[in-house]
């Protein structure tokens, strides 16, 4: 039986009109489904501009509960299109408790899973610690009609531990909804190096774990950031099998043959050769 799956990634610019952002994302999902996608992943915080460039308590009003208006609307879309959806949301869990989250909706419209971003950055123009409580749902893969998947979010993509834990939980495809871009004031060389590091780190996760890695990033200028798009899929060898450019909207639909995971892990059996008896110090903050 064929294990080829068609994966869709949506790369879009985002404006001030929340309803228009949502409608445009829905249109992109419909396009991906019409082109044969079985699973579609939207970009991080797709419904709003990237508001974390400033610290403003009024922006907590952008958050919504799960389930809530956006999740319910996209659950209907998933059922209408017959696709699995990865939907990143600004979650209002309770008064004063908010998360950068993503839900997974099965093709019949039921919610299969819920992930809350675990690693929260606090860098110039990425003031996420002001807005987001660190996730508390752990790293757990999900069985979907497309395969077993792991969902992580943006800053999580720099941490090999997160990718490894998802792989150890059986994930065949790792998804990284993302919002990352070039900063004003940096040289073109510095910006290019940062983008290349972003791609390389995730390709490394694909190689080290023998899985497919799929990253969906936004484009366009928002404030002092110019998001670099470059959404891509890497195979278990770390090879880029599809990639969007850094300035155009795109709906990537990519064939991923999950049978390649078995082939790759037989040749490069990293999971077999792990020295789990010797890694205890990984649970310390710093060894020296």
Distance CA 164, CA 146 (A): 21
Alpha-helix runs per DSSP H in the chain: 18-34, 69-81, 160-168, 188-209, 259-267, 270-273
Q: Are 206 and 234 in contact (CB under 8 A)?
A: yes
Distance CA 224, CA 217 (A): 17
Q: Which of 41, 52, 81, 154 is catalytic?
A: 154
Q: Which of 44, 106, 172, 222 is catalytic?
A: 44
Closest CA to 10 of 46, 45, 41: 41
Let me know if 158 is exposed, middle or buried by CB neighbors in 10 A (0-12, 13-18, 19+): middle
Q: Which residue do the tokens 């970009």 mark?
A: 43
Q: Which of 117, 128, 214, 256 is catalytic?
A: 117
Q: Is 44 annotated in the active site?
A: yes
Distance CA 97, CA 64 (A): 11
Q: Are 111 and 75 in contact (CB under 8 A)?
A: yes
**95 alpha carbon, distance to own chain's centre:** 26
Closest CA to 14 of 29, 2, 24, 4: 24
Active site members: 44, 117, 154
């Amino acid at each position: 039986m064929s294990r080829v799956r068609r994966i869709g990634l949506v790369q879009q610019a985002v404006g001030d009109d929340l309803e228009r952002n949502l409608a445009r994302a829905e249109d992109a999902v419909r396009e991906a489904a019409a082109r044969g996608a079985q699973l579609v992943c939207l970009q991080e915080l797709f419904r709003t501009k990237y508001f974390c460039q400033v610290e403003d308590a009024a922006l907590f009003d952008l958050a919504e509960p799960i389930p809530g208006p956006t999740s319910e609307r996209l659950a209907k879309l998933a059922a209408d299109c017959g696709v699995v959806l990865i939907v990143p949301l600004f979650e209002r869990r309770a008064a004063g408790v908010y998360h950068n989250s993503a839900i997974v909706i099965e093709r019949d419209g039921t919610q299969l899973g819920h992930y809350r971003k675990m690693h929260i950055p606090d860098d110039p123009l990425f003031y996420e610690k002001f807005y987001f409580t660190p996730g508390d749902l752990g790293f757990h893969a999900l069985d979907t009609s497309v395969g077993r998947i792991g969902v992580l979010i943006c800053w999580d993509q720099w941490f090999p531990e997160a990718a490894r834990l998802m792989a150890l939980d059986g994930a065949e495809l790792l998804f990284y909804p993302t919002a990352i871009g070039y900063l004003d004031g940096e040289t073109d060389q510095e910006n290019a190096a940062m983008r290349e590091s972003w791609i390389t780190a995730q390709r490394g996760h694909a190689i080290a774990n023998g899985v497919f890695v799929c990253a969906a990033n936004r484009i366009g200028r928002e404030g002092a950031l110019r998001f670099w798009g470059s959404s891509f899929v890497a195979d278990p060898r770390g090879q880029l099998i599809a990639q969007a450019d850094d300035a155009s909207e795109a709906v990537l639909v990519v064939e991923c043959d999950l049978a390649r995971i078995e082939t790759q892990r037989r040749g490069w059996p990293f999971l077999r050769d792990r020295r789990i008896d010797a890694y205890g110090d990984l649970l310390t903050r710093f060894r020296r």
